[in-house]
A and B are shown apart, each in its own frame.
Chain A
Amino acid sequence: STEEEDFHLQLSPEQVSDLLRAGESSHKVLDFNNGVPNSVLRFESNQLAANSPVEDRQGVATCVQTNGMMFGIFDGHGGHACAQAVSERLFYYMAVSLMSHQTLEQMEEATENMKPLLPILRWLKHPGDSIYKDVTSVHLDHLRVYWQELLDLHMEMGLSIEEALMYSFQRLDSDISLEIQAPLEDEVTRNLSLQVAFSGATACMAHVNGVHLHVANAGDCRAILGVQEENGAWSCLPLTCDHNAWNEAELSRLKREHPESEDRTLIIDDRLLGVLMPCRAFGDVQLKWSKELQRNVLARGFDTEALNIYQFTPPHYYTPPYLTAKPEVTYHRLRRQDKFLVLASDGLWDMLGNEDVVRLVVGHLSKVGRHKPDLDQRPANLGLMQSLLLQRKASGLHAADQNTATHLIRHAIGSNEYGEMEPERLAAMLTLPEDVARMYRDDITVMVVFFNSDSIDTYCKEG
């Protein structure tokens, strides 16, 4: 009704903040993990939807058996099914990949004898209410096949982290693709698997263990590191390359993988085969399978319309696969000056550059830090406390956002072309009708991971 529209157009600053804060969460990590100092101090995240329902996913989990922490951002397209599946399952694949031969043997033995499994993950941020509850036993079966194959490799110490990331990404993608090719009894499972395979998701996952930071990326999510040099100056260290049409290396890879005759048709209008922005992604079997395979699978009587499956054969489709989930893995050894890691979906990077992001995080940190009344140092009476709080309120310094990720999203959608905050613009962007929102902004998911410089120092001293 018109009354409601009027109401929305006049969002108060508080309402704007409520909307922005709705998806935020922050989490302080324990100083020690199994007696080992934790190099991660805390992480903060937030998500703002443009699609309805939102297609981005995020997750944070600890590998219980090997002590690493994993942070993942997943940007779905063509529905959220693939992003949901990847965000739930990839962490398990990764954790299993890192397990030692001995641990894998225990897992296998437990499964064999129907005993409780060793805990694999401890979720610190679960991707959300699972829609795949009924399917998890199938997923567990496939995970088991994976660890059985790892067992066959007879590697005492398990894979290296880099190998583990490579394997998990590709293995999960291949499982997603195979699950729907295999006959599935249950209709719900079948339909879900089909939706997963026929939608897509890019993924960016960071693994932190002590000073070892690995980032695996497939697609156009991005990870950057905020670095403070000894002279106090801040800089940005990108840890990923966007896999899209503007990436020369990706263009040459594609050309290398396909016959020369297709050179001109691989990228059309800056999209892979004219269809997809990222040129690496999970799912999207329309760009991976042969036409025959797609026909055969869909011919098994799926109600593609009801399942919302976007069925198409792109033009110039000669030598599939055109798309891969193989990640690009970067390694960085954490130093004292590495202060924080920002992982975000392309919705953020469309609006803000790497340097802007570092600048905003640093600005936010200093504000939050500088103006915190410190009760330990100075016993305050109520009157003094009140005037201090009122000063902070008046100067707007306490910034509605305690959460760094919220601060980034606020600026991403509220800044004009000169990088200045425009409250009207911010309110307008937040009140876009559902069907229009996606034209002005994408789903935005941001995760900021702060490192504990003291723990990192300890590691460095130990050599």
Chain B
Amino acid sequence: SSVEQKMANYSNKLYHQLEQETGIQTGYLRTGSISLAQTQDRLISLKRINSRLNVVGIPSEIISPKKVAELHPLLNVHDLVGAMYVPEDAVVSSADVALALASAASQNGVQIYDRTSVLHVLIKKGQVTGVETDKGQIECQYFVNCAGQWAYELGLSNEEPLSIPLHACEHFYLLTRPWDTPLQSNTPTIVDADGRIYIRNWQGGILSGGFEKNPKPIFTEGKNQLEIQNLREDWDHFEPLLSSLLRRMPALETLEILKLVNCPETFTPDMKCIMGESPVVQGYFVLAGMNSAGLSLGGGAGKFLAEWMVYGYPSENVWELDLQRFGALQSSRTFLRHRVMEVMPLIYDLKVPRWDFQTGRQLRTSPLYDRLDAQGARWMEKHGFERPKYFVPPNKDLLALEQSKTFYKPDWFDIVESEVKCCKEAVCVIDMSSFTKFEITSTGDEALESLQYLFCNDLDVPVGHIVHTGMLNEYGGYENDCSIARLTKRSFFMISPTDQQVHCWAWLNKYLPKDSNLLLEDVTWKYTALNLIGPRAVDVLSELSYAPMTPDHFPTLFCKEMSVGYANGIRVMSMTHTGEPGFMLYIPIEYALHVYNEVMSVGQKYGIRNAGYYALRSLRIEKFFAFWGQDLNTLTTPLECGGESRVKLEKGIDFIGRDALLQQKQTGVYKRLAMFILDDHDTDLDLWPWWGEPIYRNGKYAGKTTSSAYSYTLERHVCLGYVHNFSEDSGEEQVVTTDFINRGEYEIDIAGHRFQAKAKLYPVTSFFTHKRRKDDVELSDFHGK
């Protein structure tokens, strides 16, 4: 991902100058690296990476097998279709780098206690106060848990346990004795992902390891010094990697073995490292779970964490690495053991769009799970929650799991098309129970007062109204993007993205006044959420409630408790997170099955059917609804994505981020979220966009896409992404105006091929669509979760 790329890039620069700075040799050698492709799909994946590297100024190129052979004399290239060459990649010795960093730190006054083990962290009133070690206490304000594979246990050893989900697997690499005539020291490092191995020079011989298909998880039961001293080499286990190595470099046959090292590596449930501050203890930071990339990411990760501790925020958006993306629900040892067995091979597996993990599933489910599953639901998982992607009709076969991995048009294309069509023309029901749901109530006006300060939009609206609003940080960036319904004068119902459960909770607890009679409750588990999307949703609901549901009685963005079928107390909201007409039903879970059954049976005559998140995604992206965590993050402000109407700047009410926004309003924005409609892209034959594709404006790099979907209405691909205005001379960022956006010619680079695109700052409502009703457009609904 891009933040990981930046971390690696920083590490490279840091290690490069480390030797000069500290006088300690780090073995830094700029050898370059070659990533091999044995298949066309792998080559596509490399081309995508290549596009991204080029635009951030890291030289790289896609090269032919012949060129590979020239760069590395010992490689067998007969089975290759191409490769990516990154000439500035370097190798270092990890132990020496650690030593150099430690010595540099010591020179700057850092005290290092070696052979000292931390027993537990001392916490008072939710704040770190010190560390208890086997050699006594140390007072401190900040604590960073970077205990690697023991970080999980150290986290649990707190009085209030902190869940740091990671798990170790054995990792094997081979060291050989030197060649008779050693290779040139600058021979490039080889990554043969299809062969699951990496190869680099090592003291005149080679070092080679890999990520096997059948990893061996270890330390499931926790720390055990006896075992780590007795880790055994396992040649039988290593055989597939050895065979792969000898296939790639046949000349290695005669090289003598020095040893097979077994050095466990730590992996996380989503293959991304874990950093950031504990959601419950202030001053308790974590940096662990490097998924075997500790050395290459370490320098950058350290920089971001340091910024985080000093300034409160890292200089890049690191949400995908943030500890708070996980909760206690990912801390089961069984879950971690099973999941890392999937994650470790994945490091060298082909990463295609819309990949779902297969292990650790069916943990959180809606009460309708079995019903939907029986009707052909295919599932994806977010924050442990199963969500339907689409519904396979009874007579339809999809490809097997392995075959369905593609960068091109996926096999579910027609299925989702019919679901989208049904949303447009009739009515669909989507189970969206995974959303994070909080209730905030108070006896006096504290709830309103506090929320006015925490959220950027005006929440002092009449009871029953729903407000779309951001929860901003002091720099005006989105910490969360949510919908809040005012249930009564003193109580609010807040709906946030699924993976906000921990982060938003922590944020609210940090900023809500203490010792007040304010009550914050996580009610996520209490409600099943059904989204009725489509023009006939209104008919289904009025038939089930004997209440008029037309826009006169039930305007858009309105919330009412009513009965549906026999069930009373259903929270009905006139919004669908897509811009299409319809309703969200928040149903107390014991009524879920009843309401679902009623909706389906009454809905039959209106053509109701089940739909999944893929349909929802297509609908919301074509309406330019941005998504927190993908399009919106802590470094993007409402002004940068057309959200000015959802900010109460003019009302004289203070809120977090207000000053920053006022300032930005004065100076103008330096990036702007736009919607791109691909023009000359053939859906059947061309590679599909995903996210992270470079955007070119008038032939110059201008930013990257953040998400994409095929719009069945426009019959085009739609990408969302930020446009910057880099100065031609200095590369500095300049103000981006509406005019700047409108006057550009745009191209989107998908794996090296540029497609023409039209940029829009507002959703396309007219030129392809038909049958639109005036009041359908939830213009202000700006998210999809």
Residues of A bordering B, CB below 8 Å: 1, 14, 18, 22, 25, 27-30, 124-126, 129, 373, 375, 379-383, 385-386, 389-390, 392-393, 398, 402
Q: Are A386 and B246 in contact (CB under 8 A)?
A: yes
Q: Are A381 and B253 in contact (CB under 8 A)?
A: yes
Looking at the assembled complex, report how far the CB atom of B390 sits from the nearest CB atom of chain A, in whole angstroms: 14
* Mask: chain B, 239-256; 1 = CB below 8 Å from A; 0 = not: 100110110000011111
Q: Are A382 and B252 in contact (CB under 8 A)?
A: yes
Q: Are B227 and A385 in contact (CB under 8 A)?
A: no
Residues of B within 8 A of A379 (CB): 256-257
Q: Are A382 and B236 in contact (CB under 8 A)?
A: no
**Is B1 interfacial (CB 8 A cutoff)?**
no
Residues of A within 8 A of B220 (CB): 25
Residues of A within 8 A of B413 (CB): none
**Is B230 interfacial (CB 8 A cutoff)?**
yes
**Is B496 interfacial (CB 8 A cutoff)?**
no
* Mask: chain B, 259-278; 1 = CB below 8 Å from A; 0 = not: 10000000000000000000
Q: For A129, give its contact among B259, B333, B373, B376 (CB under 8 Å).
A: B333
Distance of A392 Cα from B240 Cα, bound (Å): 12
Q: Which residue of chain B is the closest to A30 with respect to CB atoms? A: B226
Q: Are A393 and B239 in contact (CB under 8 A)?
A: yes
Q: Are B236 and A385 in contact (CB under 8 A)?
A: no
Looking at the assembled complex, report how far the CB atom of B261 sits from the nearest CB atom of chain A, in whole angstroms: 13
Looking at the assembled complex, report how far the CB atom of B7 sits from the nearest CB atom of chain A, in whole angstroms: 33
Q: Are B235 and A373 in contact (CB under 8 A)?
A: yes
Q: Are A383 and B257 in contact (CB under 8 A)?
A: no
**Is B149 interfacial (CB 8 A cutoff)?**
no
**Is B515 interfacial (CB 8 A cutoff)?**
no
Residues of B within 8 A of A27 (CB): 224, 226-227
Distance of A391 Cα from B235 Cα, bound (Å): 13
Q: For B221, give its contact among A126, A385, A386 (CB under 8 Å).
A: A126
**Is B11 interfacial (CB 8 A cutoff)?**
no
Q: Are B333 and A398 in contact (CB under 8 A)?
A: no
Distance of A390 Cα from B238 Cα, bound (Å): 11
**Is B176 interfacial (CB 8 A cutoff)?**
yes
- Among A14, A126, A386, A398, the one with the most B-chain Cβ atoms within 10 Å of its Cβ is A386
Residues of B within 8 A of A18 (CB): 214, 341
Residues of A within 8 A of B242 (CB): 382, 385-386, 389
Q: Which 6 A-B pairs have the closest CB atoms?
A: A383-B253, A389-B239, A398-B236, A28-B230, A381-B256, A382-B252
* Mask: chain B, 589-613; 1 = CB below 8 Å from A; 0 = not: 0000000000000000000000000
Q: For B254, give its contact among A30, A126, A383, A393 (CB under 8 Å).
A: A383
* Mask: chain B, 185-229; 1 = CB below 8 Å from A; 0 = not: 000000000000000000000000000011000001100101100
Enumerate B112-128 residues with CB–CB distance to A below 8 Å. none
Q: Are B230 and A392 in contact (CB under 8 A)?
A: no
Residues of A within 8 A of B376 (CB): 1
Q: A28-B230, A383-B246 are in contact. List 13 more A-B contacts (CB 8 A).
A: A1-B376, A14-B213, A22-B337, A25-B220, A27-B224, A129-B332, A382-B242, A382-B253, A383-B253, A389-B242, A389-B243, A390-B239, A390-B243
Residues of B within 8 A of A389 (CB): 235-236, 238-239, 242-243
Residues of A within 8 A of B257 (CB): 375, 379-382, 385
Distance of A97 Cα from B332 Cα, bound (Å): 34
Residues of B within 8 A of A386 (CB): 239, 242-243, 246, 253
Residues of A within 8 A of B255 (CB): 381-382
Distance of A389 Cα from B243 Cα, bound (Å): 9
Q: Are A392 and B236 in contact (CB under 8 A)?
A: yes
Q: Are A28 and B221 in contact (CB under 8 A)?
A: no
Residues of A within 8 A of B246 (CB): 382-383, 386
Could you pull out 20 A-B pairs where Cβ atoms are within 8 angstroms?
A: A1-B376, A18-B214, A25-B220, A29-B226, A30-B226, A124-B224, A375-B257, A375-B259, A379-B256, A381-B253, A382-B245, A382-B252, A382-B254, A383-B252, A383-B254, A386-B253, A389-B238, A389-B243, A393-B239, A398-B236
Residues of B bordering A, CB below 8 Å: 174, 176, 213-214, 220-221, 224, 226-227, 230, 234-236, 238-239, 242-243, 245-246, 252-257, 259, 332-333, 337-338, 341, 373-374, 376
Distance of A29 Cα from B230 Cα, bound (Å): 10
Distance of A389 Cα from B234 Cα, bound (Å): 11
Distance of A317 Cα from B465 Cα, bound (Å): 67
Distance of A375 Cα from B256 Cα, bound (Å): 11
Given A373-B235, A389-B236, A389-B239, decide whether A125 and B221 contact each other with a Cβ distance below 8 A. Answer: yes
Distance of A375 Cα from B213 Cα, bound (Å): 25
Looking at the assembled complex, report how far the CB atom of A408 sits from the nearest CB atom of chain B, in whole angstroms: 20
Residues of B within 8 A of A393 (CB): 236, 239
- Among B235, B246, B254, the one with the most A-chain Cβ atoms within 10 Å of its Cβ is B235
Residues of B within 8 A of A375 (CB): 257, 259
Distance of A14 Cα from B332 Cα, bound (Å): 25
Q: Are A382 and B214 in contact (CB under 8 A)?
A: no
Looking at the assembled complex, report how far the CB atom of B258 sits from the nearest CB atom of chain A, in whole angstroms: 9
Residues of A within 8 A of B373 (CB): 1
Distance of A398 Cα from B236 Cα, bound (Å): 7
Distance of A129 Cα from B328 Cα, bound (Å): 14
Residues of A within 8 A of B227 (CB): 27-28
Q: Which residue of chain A is the closest to B253 with respect to CB atoms? A: A383
Looking at the assembled complex, report how far the CB atom of A178 sits from the nearest CB atom of chain B, in whole angstroms: 31
Looking at the assembled complex, report how far the CB atom of A437 sits from the nearest CB atom of chain B, in whole angstroms: 18
Distance of A121 Cα from B234 Cα, bound (Å): 32
Distance of A113 Cα from B440 Cα, bound (Å): 46
Q: Are B176 and A382 in contact (CB under 8 A)?
A: yes
Residues of B within 8 A of A126 (CB): 221
Q: Are A381 and B236 in contact (CB under 8 A)?
A: no
Residues of A within 8 A of B234 (CB): 402
Distance of A126 Cα from B222 Cα, bound (Å): 10
Q: Which residue of chain A is the closest to B373 with respect to CB atoms? A: A1
Q: Which residue of chain A is the closest to B214 with respect to CB atoms? A: A14
Distance of A385 Cα from B254 Cα, bound (Å): 10
Residues of A within 8 A of B213 (CB): 14
Residues of B within 8 A of A1 (CB): 373-374, 376
Q: Which residue of chain B is the closest to A29 with respect to CB atoms? A: B226
Residues of A within 8 A of B256 (CB): 379-382
Q: Which residue of chain A is the closest to B234 with respect to CB atoms? A: A402
Residues of A within 8 A of B332 (CB): 129
Looking at the assembled complex, report how far the CB atom of B224 sits from the nearest CB atom of chain A, in whole angstroms: 8
Distance of A253 Cα from B428 Cα, bound (Å): 70
Residues of A within 8 A of B235 (CB): 373, 385, 389
Looking at the assembled complex, report how far the CB atom of A7 sits from the nearest CB atom of chain B, in whole angstroms: 9
Looking at the assembled complex, report how far the CB atom of B230 sits from the nearest CB atom of chain A, in whole angstroms: 5
Q: Which residue of chain B is the closest to A21 with respect to CB atoms? A: B216
Q: Which residue of chain A is the closest to B337 with respect to CB atoms? A: A22
Q: Which residue of chain B is the closest to A389 with respect to CB atoms? A: B239
Looking at the assembled complex, report how far the CB atom of A353 sits from the nearest CB atom of chain B, in whole angstroms: 30
Looking at the assembled complex, report how far the CB atom of A386 sits from the nearest CB atom of chain B, in whole angstroms: 5
Looking at the assembled complex, report how far the CB atom of A393 sits from the nearest CB atom of chain B, in whole angstroms: 6
Residues of B within 8 A of A14 (CB): 213-214
Looking at the assembled complex, report how far the CB atom of B356 sits from the nearest CB atom of chain A, in whole angstroms: 14
Looking at the assembled complex, report how far the CB atom of B124 sits from the nearest CB atom of chain A, in whole angstroms: 20
Residues of A within 8 A of B333 (CB): 129
- Among B253, B337, B374, the one with the most A-chain Cβ atoms within 10 Å of its Cβ is B253
Distance of A385 Cα from B174 Cα, bound (Å): 12
Residues of A within 8 A of B245 (CB): 382
Residues of A within 8 A of B239 (CB): 386, 389-390, 393
Distance of A380 Cα from B176 Cα, bound (Å): 10
Distance of A55 Cα from B332 Cα, bound (Å): 19
Looking at the assembled complex, report how far the CB atom of A120 sits from the nearest CB atom of chain B, in whole angstroms: 18
Looking at the assembled complex, report how far the CB atom of A49 sits from the nearest CB atom of chain B, in whole angstroms: 11
Looking at the assembled complex, report how far the CB atom of A106 sits from the nearest CB atom of chain B, in whole angstroms: 21
Residues of B within 8 A of A28 (CB): 226-227, 230
Residues of B within 8 A of A382 (CB): 174, 176, 242, 245-246, 252-257
Looking at the assembled complex, report how far the CB atom of B197 sits from the nearest CB atom of chain A, in whole angstroms: 13
Distance of A382 Cα from B376 Cα, bound (Å): 50
Looking at the assembled complex, report how far the CB atom of A13 sits from the nearest CB atom of chain B, in whole angstroms: 11
Looking at the assembled complex, report how far the CB atom of A6 sits from the nearest CB atom of chain B, in whole angstroms: 10
